[in-house]
Amino acid sequence: MASRLVASHVEAGYGSVRVLHDVSVNVNAGETVVLLGSNGNGKSTLIKCITGIVQPTSGEIYLERDGARIDLVGKSPQEVVDLGIALVPEGRRLFPKLTVEENLLLGAFRMGARSKIDSNLAFVFEAFPPLRERRNQLAGNMSGGEQQMVAVARALMSDPEILLVDEPSVGLAPILVSRMIAKIKELKDQRHLTVLMAEQNFNQAIKIADRGYIIVHGQIEFEGGSAADLRDNDMIKQYYLGL
Ligand SMILES: Nc1ncnc2c1ncn2[C@@H]1O[C@H](COP(=O)(O)OP(=O)(O)OP(=O)(O)O)[C@@H](O)[C@H]1O
Ligand SMILES: [Mg+2]
């Protein structure tokens, strides 16, 4: 199974507020694609459209899987997870009064993941040893870095093919951002994942990006065919990085 994720000419917003304007983004099987943009430019809104949390007002979002097309627009978040698309949400969104292990098990509810609970739990504990040590600790009592590990591990418990990661760097000290970004790359390689990561931390994100997009005011302003394309672009230096 190899899937390509496509968002084509997507328009979306909240009530009368239009946020995304004609957004087209695609992620090929096995790629790590980054969606770069500063606060409020629509990164999370696009991720929410893909995951069925926000419904686009027009445009298409679909998977191309083994020659078939599977539309995502109109699907519920649960149905999207069932298709093998997992979200690491912005701000982690853990259940603070549940233990680390209970949070992880909640990630495994989809049918395709239930039979693999033991092996996936062993895998995430191997990937994030602090979670094994603290499996019985309440998630709300974990540090920010540890909570981000739980959020990533919970997504992996659904045994995804495609991992959507929304701003893993938020609220973390620079050294932890670096480690988390490197870990996402490592997990992607180990699990043969396809990754779409929204980030505003340009320098960290492009360390693991195969290519990426810059979103400004809800529009894709630049599409880079490689990480170098993004790094070397004058428009980005001027308008996005303020250099
Ligand atoms: N639930 C909502 N209701 C109304 N407006 C919203 C809602 N969520 C987001 N918005 C607005 O949509 C725009 C884009 O927000 P979005 O969260 O997609 O940006 P972002 O790029 O993810 O930003 P950040 O880096 O801060 O997470 C913002 O102007 C925001 O105020
Ligand atoms: Mg966001």
CB 128 within 8 A of CB 88: no
Beta carbon of 119 within 6 Å of any ligand 1 atom: no
The answer to whether position 146 is within a domain reads: no
Residue ranges of E strands in 37-191: 58-65, 68-71, 85-88, 162-166
The answer to whether position 153 is within a domain reads: no
| CA of residue 45 to ligand 1 center, whole Å | 6
- Indicate the angle between helix axes 117-127 and 174-191, nearest 10 degrees: 140
Q: Kindly state the tokens that stand for 226.
A: 């490689």
| pTM recorded for the entire structure | 0.95
Averaged in consecutive runs of 10 residues, what is the pLDDT profile of the chain (243 residues)? 94 96 98 94 97 97 96 96 96 95 94 92 97 97 95 97 96 92 97 96 92 95 88 73 57
Beta carbon of 18 within 6 Å of any ligand 1 atom: no
- pLDDT for the residue 157: 97
The answer to whether position 144 is within a domain reads: no
- Which residues 6+ apart lie within 8 Å of 172 measured at CB? 144, 145, 148, 180
- pLDDT for the residue 183: 96
Please state, in angstroms and rounded to a whole number, the distance separating the CA atoms of residues 64 and 42: 24
CB 181 within 8 A of CB 204: yes
- 214: CATH: 3.40.50.300
The answer to whether position 136 is within a domain reads: no
Please state, in angstroms and rounded to a whole number, the distance separating the CA atoms of residues 51 and 5: 12
The answer to whether position 216 is within a domain reads: yes
Return the best residue to mutate from 14, 23, 167, 215 for the ligand 1 pocket (most ligand atoms within 8 A of CB): 14
Please state, in angstroms and rounded to a whole number, the distance separating the CA atoms of residues 53 and 57: 13
Among left, alpha and beta (phi > 0; psi -120 to 50; other), residue 218 is left
Beta carbon of 19 within 6 Å of any ligand 1 atom: yes
Residue 231, domain extent: 1-84+195-243
The answer to whether position 143 is within a domain reads: no
What's the number of domains the chain is made of? Answer: 1
| CA of residue 227 to ligand 1 center, whole Å | 26
The answer to whether position 175 is within a domain reads: no
The answer to whether position 180 is within a domain reads: no
CA atoms within 13 A on the CB side of 124: 28
